[in-house]
Chains A and B, each alone.
Chain A
């Protein structure tokens, strides 16, 4: 039987998987969990391909956010792993590993919706409207989530001493 997804689906996975994996990683704080999450979401996209083929990435992002929030809730009922257990360092530049751990650790302190808003706005560079669609909330809620999440992230990262800090003069209001 012919696969209705053809090569279009494969191309989507090949071209967009790294970008989605980055989002999943920052949402989950764990590479293995992120890969599992990505696979789950892409399987979901596969199943619904006919309906989502015109906007597969937006659908995938939304699914990532929802599933990540569910994972976070499940995990919250278990004892937390030490940060060092989350993503064992690979041979890598020491600064990058330290920065990665600081960012993941900082994001873990940010509530899931705020975390998702910050990741979509600042990693994916989505507009407020696009982020609202991914989070299934109003644009006002996105602005609020982003501002509060960003404040927590900035605070945590500034305290880590791992990144250069400069006076905050810019804003983002797309």
Chain B
């Protein structure tokens, strides 16, 4: 006995007969849809988070929800800056490009676009434009703020002026979250930075010290009439520059509006690298219940900081594993090993030893070549052994050429100081012997 098709139809309908359209669905969908349109434009330009605000006070505020407010802002109210501020033909060209782009993007705007800055650059004439939004809904992020308008760079291209991305700005009082800079030219080798009223630093490129520490030169940006054009190395396949409010730090970074076009060409996100977290046998002797914590000890975070480019923007090579090893040394110290890798640069492995939370000196580093059979080989000081790692591979070691091979587990191991050879058997592949 079973249900026939008619019965199945009947029970599915009966099971859903109680449903009715939610109240206010059309209005809710329209409201949400408009937010998505705006967010989509923002994300299309590649910004992870866009927050912004005017820098002047609220002149008038009425009601809640999506009603209008009028907020004074230099982005709307101050005279156009830049050496083309008195060039009506170019300003008209800019506003025409802006109107065409906003129409196409279906942004809901009011009033006239205001050219905040217009000037010559080594790559041609460029501008920055702002316009009030039609209404002022409370936005999700930053929480409780209201949208007051959209702004964007208008840049020269081979096909004429192009509006790069529309960014929202809000009513809370600063423009820190907005893009303040853009890379210009077919090679993206000119960095245009707008003067938002704060001292700015930039770094044209990044390199590595022999031990893997990040090396960056920090140069002051000198603004002239509202902006600065800076020569930088071509930014075609990766972003080497960094720019931020002085002193430049992870918290003062300035967004470069089109850097995601470089990092994620065609809007495609790259896959994340495979993450390997290994907790070595006996690690709990040193780490206790804190072994493999989601938050590292503050001392370890501080020790690793010089190896991280906190002010730059990078992607990671999905083929390069992201490795972390927690262990304990024979003398009872906590061992923490991490690999760091940016773009298609060589990666580095860093080993730290410490006790408790505060002091985790870096005791060994090495460049990592993941194509090698044993990519990580870090000899620890004070005869504490050698940390070896090859993700997912079976590891064995011996002491002396005639010694017996001893099992060292899979993926990562802390070998005795006297170990001389490691036999690495990948998950798929043949065993290779590596001399330590």
Contact = CB atoms under 8 A, between A and B. Distances in A.
B108 A1 contact: yes
A168 B4 contact: yes
Contacts of A123: 9, 12-13, 16
Given A43-B36, A123-B16, A158 B3 contact: yes
How large, as a class, is the contact surface on chain B?
35 or more
Contacts of A158: 1-3
A169 B6 CA distance: 10
B63 interface: no
A157 to B, nearest CB: 6
Contacts of B32: 39-40, 43, 46
7 contacts: A1-B108, A18-B19, A22-B16, A43-B29, A99-B11, A163-B7, A166-B7
A10 B9 CA distance: 29
Contacts of B175: none
Interface in B2-37: 2-9, 11-22, 25-26, 28-30, 32-37
A44 B39 CA distance: 12
Residue of B1, B20, B40 with most partner-chain A CB within 10 A: B1
A18 B14 CA distance: 14
B230 interface: no
A104 B19 CA distance: 14
How large, as a class, is the contact surface on chain A?
35 or more
Interface string B104-146: 0011110000000000000000000000001000000000000
B25 A17 contact: yes
A29 to B, nearest CB: 10
Given A39-B32, A119-B12, A123-B12, A18 B4 contact: no
Contacts of B93: none
Nearest to B103: A1
Contacts of B2: 154, 158, 165, 167-168
A17 B21 contact: yes
Given A150-B8, A170-B6, A47 B21 contact: no
Contacts, number: 131
Contacts of B25: 13, 17, 38-39, 42
Contacts of A94: none
A124 to B, nearest CB: 9
B8 A154 contact: yes
Contacts of B21: 14, 17-18, 21
Give the dominant DSSP class at B's interface: helix
Contacts of A122: 5, 8-9, 12
Residue of B7, B17, B40, B134 with most partner-chain A CB within 10 A: B7
A157 B40 contact: no
B47 to A, nearest CB: 18
B301 to A, nearest CB: 28
Given A18-B21, A166-B3, 7 more contacts: A10-B30, A26-B16, A44-B36, A46-B29, A92-B18, A122-B8, A153-B8
A101 B26 CA distance: 29
Contact of B28 (A1, A10, A39): A39
A132 to B, nearest CB: 18
Contacts of B108: 1
A133 interface: no
Residue of B103, B106, B134 with most partner-chain A CB within 10 A: B106
A35 B26 contact: no
Given A43-B36, A168-B4, A103 B12 contact: yes
Contacts of A163: 3, 7, 11
